[in-house]
A and B are shown apart, each in its own frame.
Chain A
C-alpha cells in the first residue's frame, strides 16, 4: 500500500474514515435516497439511486437507442431523461482519478483465456442481476426501502459466496498439500 507510511505518520480521523468501506456505505445509502428525492419526477422505479448492473444496462441501451434508433428496454428514468443515468461512467472516472492520485494505477494483463472467462462472466452476471432487477447494491437499497424479495436475494447471494469461497479454499488446500 503506497499510502501506508502517511497513515502511520498522521492517522487523522478523516483519513481513516475516508478509507473505510462503512463510510462509503453510508454515503451511497444517503445519496441514493437524496437522488430519488431530487429526480423521481423524471420517472421510476423507486430505490434506483445507485446500481451497477441496472445503470450499465440503462447507459448501454439508452445510448444504443439514441444512436441506432432501436427500442431496447430500459428504466423509465433513463427513457424520459435527455441522457440515460451516468453513474457507471462516474464510477469509472472516479476510480481512475483516485488510482492516479495515489499512484495505484497499474496495467495488469491476463491471458486470452482469462479475458474470455471474464467476458462471459460479465454477460452472465449482468443477465442474472437483471432477472432479479438489480445488482447487490440495488438489492441493499431495496432492502432499505422495505422490499422482502431483496432480502431473499441477499441471503441467497451470501449462500452462493460461501459455496464459492468454500470451493476456492478446497482448491487452495489441494494445491498446498
Chain B
C-alpha cells in the first residue's frame, strides 16, 4: 500500500478538494490556450502547426519530470515508478477491466486508441476540449459531456462485463 504525504484520514477528505482546485486551474488555462491532444496531432498532420502538439508532448515530458521529482522526495508515494521496469514490461497498469492477460491489454490500448483518435478528430476535439467548449456555451459539446456521463454508468453496469467475457471467450483470460 502506497503512502503519500497526507495520512489516510486526511487524504480521504482532501481528495475532492485538491482535485477540484487542480481542475479549476486546468480548466481556466485550457480555455485560454485551446488545449487539445487530438487537435495537436490533427494540426500537425494537416497544417504542420506545432502549437497544440507541443502542449501534449510537454505533458508527457512534464509528467515524467514531475513523477521523477516526487519520486526523489516521496518514494513511498511512487511505488511503481518506471512501471515497465518495476512491474514487468507487459504488466498493465490498473484502470482497464481486470482478469485478462498482457496481450489483451495491448489490444485494449491499440484498438480503443485508434477509435478514440478517429472519433474525436471528426468531432473536433478530445474529451478536455469538449468539456471546455461545453463550459463556453457550446451545446453540441455539452451533449458530448452528457454522453460521457451516461456512458460511465453504461460502462460500469454492462460494457465492462461484456468486454471481459468477450476477451475470455477469445482466449485472453488468465
Interface size on B, residues (CB 8 A): 127
In the assembled complex, which residues on chain B have CB atoms less than 8 Å from the CB atom of A54? 95
CB distance from B126 to the nearest CB of A (A): 5
- A156 B109 Cβ-Cβ under 8 A: yes
- B32 A38 Cβ-Cβ under 8 A: no
Q: With an 8 A cutoff between CB atoms, is B46 at the interface? A: yes
CB distance from A157 to the nearest CB of B (A): 4
- B64 A144 Cβ-Cβ under 8 A: yes
- B15 A42 Cβ-Cβ under 8 A: yes
Interface size on A, residues (CB 8 A): 130
- B112 A153 Cβ-Cβ under 8 A: yes
Q: Using a CB-CB cutoff of 8 Å, which residues 107-150 of chain B contact chain A?
A: 108-123, 126-128, 130-132, 134-141, 143-150
In the assembled complex, which residues on chain A have CB atoms less than 8 Å from the CB atom of B89? 148
Q: How far is the CA of A80 from the CA of B4 in the complex (A)?
A: 15
CB distance from A31 to the nearest CB of B (A): 6
In the assembled complex, which residues on chain A have CB atoms less than 8 Å from the CB atom of B29? 18, 23-24, 27, 94, 98
Q: How far is the CA of A105 from the CA of B137 in the complex (A)?
A: 6
User: A156 and B111 in contact (CB under 8 A), knowing A39-B11, A81-B16, A83-B15?
Assistant: yes
Partner of B41, one of A81, A97, A158: A158
User: A21 and B35 in contact (CB under 8 A), knowing A89-B23, A131-B96, A131-B97?
Assistant: yes
In the assembled complex, which residues on chain B have CB atoms less than 8 Å from the CB atom of A38? 4-6, 11, 14, 18, 77
- A156 B15 Cβ-Cβ under 8 A: no
Write out, one digit per residue, whether chain A residues 132-143 have a CB within 8 A of any chain B CB (1) or not (0). Answer: 111111111111
Write out, one digit per residue, whether chain A residues 97-126 have a CB within 8 A of any chain B CB (1) or not (0). Answer: 111001011111110001110111111111
Q: How far is the CA of A125 from the CA of B52 in the complex (A)?
A: 21
- B155 A57 Cβ-Cβ under 8 A: yes
- B135 A93 Cβ-Cβ under 8 A: yes
> Considering the complex of A and B, which 7 residue pairs feature the smallest CB-CB distances, nearest first?
A90-B23, A122-B147, A133-B95, A94-B27, A21-B55, A29-B62, A160-B117
Q: List 11 A-B contacts (CB under 8 A).
A: A27-B25, A80-B8, A90-B24, A133-B95, A143-B63, A144-B64, A144-B66, A145-B67, A157-B113, A157-B117, A160-B113
Q: Which residues of A contact B (CB under 8 A)?
A: 18-42, 44-50, 52-57, 59-61, 64, 72-75, 77-78, 80-99, 102, 104-110, 114-116, 118-150, 152-169
